[in-house]
Amino acid sequence: MSSPATASNPLATRAPFSWRFTAPLFIGSALNPINSSMIATALVPIATGLGVPIGQTASLVTALYLASAIAQPTAGKLAAVFGARRVFLVGIILVLLGGVLGGVAQNLSMVLIARVLIGLGTSCAYPSAMMLIQRRAAVAGMAKPPGSILGGLQIAALATAALGLPIGGVLVETVGWRWVFLVNVPVALIALAAAVIWIPRDPAVPTPRSARGILSSIDLSGIVGFALAMSALLGFLFSLQDPNWILLAAAVLLFVALTFWELRAASPFLDVRLLVRNAALTRTYLRFALVALCVYVVMYGITQWMEAARGMSALSAGLLLLPMSVISGIVVVPISRRNLVRGPVIVAAVASLLGSVGVLLLTSDTGIVWIVLITVIFGVVLGTASSGNQLALYLQAPSEQLGVASGLFRTFGYLGSIASSAITGIVFRTAADDSGVRTIGLIMIGVSLVTIAFTVFDRTLRTTHRETTQA
């Protein structure tokens, strides 16, 4: 005989996370990383097709990174106020519009707008999905995090990033650069239909009816301040080959002003007190950014070296990264199912150090097997770091702020990615040669050592349940 609690909660009597519920979340979360890397293979064809200098197409990379870094935590805040399902659906619609616009674009401005739309839209998926999963787990009365579902989300959200390069290469070489955008259309339509049919509607949200109340609840001023500060910071990082110190000064001043505003806001977009009080969560962000820096140096910097120093095509170099994607996906599954945190992030830090030493030893005469071995090692890094740090985030972030916290998690990943781009740009400024690879290897070793320190000495990683206070 079932208990009254069980009888009143049908999710407690069956598997709460069916493939119907998770499929649209996984599809939506995969769109951002794949679009981030897929464009790399299309920059030269876009410049040729639209008759613009190749240097101008770099703005397409910057636009998506900038839009995503700002939109991820913003989407989390909007999901908390208006409902995660609603924000998820709006994001998919934006991706659909961006795919169509990019596919028919007649000039670089239209392509740039399409990239921004795709960046904004894909950024809605991950924080919304995290909130929907948490809500589903709470309704089902689950005592432990739904590790396998979080692992699947992580595979979709991060481990698929390396797939963008070979997918983009195939699309560009077979049907043209416009399909780097148009491929989003059928995928977005499938995700949209699945989400409408299979994701339960949001519960009634007590949103203030007045415009002033709504603006206060989402902290529009805080969002704008964060956007301006992040724009200045990312602009400085992108300018590191010829540093724009004015942008750095502006970023510092804007972040200081944002901090003062958020400390006084009734419903802060960025809870500064939480980041100070919850040092464990802040360390998770920093740890993830450092690992992301090393992973993206391999993904983009070493790829650039393979093309320049070894004469490989973009498609061939991209295919050499497939082991990273495959291994990371394989690694995530057992870690997530067992809800492991500390062990995986330690493995990620140590493996990053070993892989960085491997990068240091690369030369133009190095065999392909050695390069594949390095990508395999960083596949382990990506899988263990993404799954372990995501579960740490799930446990460390307050339930009511999981959306914004998840968005910031991805933003810190973008900071690591952009920093890696800046490093490779500086080191390979004149040529992507063996000397530059050795320099990159030394930098990666230093970053990995800092990551190990952030990991081994973090006692809070032993915790596998949600705490009310963090050290």
**Tokens 């990506």 sit at which residue?**
382
Length of the chain measured in residues: 471
Other C-beta atoms closer than 10 Å to the C-beta of 361 total 12
Maximum distance among all alpha carbons in the chain? 75
| Spans in the chain with pLDDT lower than 70 | 1-14, 158-162, 205-209, 314-315, 318, 462-471
What confidence tens digit (pLDDT) does each residue in 64-118 have?
888 888 899 999 999 988 999 999 999 999 999 999 999 999 999 999 999 999 9
Name the DSSP letter for residue 335.
H
Q: How far apart are the first and last CA of the chain?
A: 44
> Same CATH topology for 16-201 and 278-464?
yes
Rounded CA separation 468/471 (Å): 10
What confidence tens digit (pLDDT) does each residue in 250-309 have?
999 999 999 999 888 888 888 888 778 888 898 999 999 999 999 988 887 887 788 777
CATH among 3.40.50.300, 3.30.70.100, 1.20.1250.20, 1.25.40.420 for 278-464? 1.20.1250.20
Overall fold of domain 16-201? Growth Hormone; Chain: A; (1.20.1250)
pLDDT the model gives residue 254: 94
Question: Containing H/E element for 192?
Answer: helix 184-198
On the 0-12 / 13-18 / 19+ scale of CB atoms within 10 A, 397 is buried
Contact residues for 149 (Cβ-Cβ < 8 A; gap 6+): 17, 22, 133
pLDDT the model gives residue 158: 65
pLDDT the model gives residue 315: 66
- Would you call 9 helix, strand, or coil by DSSP? coil
pLDDT the model gives residue 197: 94
List the domain boundaries for the chain: 16-201, 278-464
pLDDT the model gives residue 107: 92
Q: Is residue 298 a contact partner of residue 375, using CB atoms and an 8 Å limit?
A: yes
Q: Is residue 327 a contact partner of residue 370, using CB atoms and an 8 Å limit?
A: no
pLDDT the model gives residue 180: 93
Rounded CA separation 197/17 (Å): 15
pLDDT the model gives residue 277: 83
* Token code pair at residue 280: 């464990």
- Give CA torsion, residues 51, 53, 57, 58, to 10 deg: 170
Rounded CA separation 387/389 (Å): 6
Name the DSSP letter for residue 200.
P
